């Protein structure tokens, strides 16, 4: 399985996005997290699909 490498600040960005979504509508941050996890799992399973970004 491929490894996903997060750039500096990405975790902070995700936490901010989660908080903003929750402020907008309760539960929407959780929905975002579940969808993101599904996409990341797909990337781990099929690492050759997306282009490499450097």
- Contact 43/4 with Cβ under 8 angstroms? yes
pTM higher than the cut 0.85:
no
Query: Along the chain (54 residues), what's the average pLDDT of each consecutive run of 10 residues?
Result: 79 94 96 94 83 72
* pLDDT for res 2: 63
* pLDDT for res 17: 96
- Contact 22/28 with Cβ under 8 angstroms? yes
What does DSSP assign to residue 26? T
Residue range of the domain that includes 6 = 1-54
* pLDDT for res 47: 79
- Contact 43/50 with Cβ under 8 angstroms? yes
> What's the number of domains the chain is made of?
1
* pLDDT for res 8: 82
CB proximity list for 21: less than 8 A, separation 6 or greater: 28, 29, 31, 32
| CA 42/CA 52 separation, integer angstroms | 15
* pLDDT for res 1: 58
């Amino acid at each position: 399985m491929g490894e996903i490498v997060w750039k500096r600040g990405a975790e902070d960005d995700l936490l901010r996005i989660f908080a903003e979504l929750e402020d907008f509508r309760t539960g929407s941050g959780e929905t975002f997290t579940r969808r993101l996890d599904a996409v990341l799992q797909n990337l781990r399973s099929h690492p050759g699909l997306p282009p490499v970004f450097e």
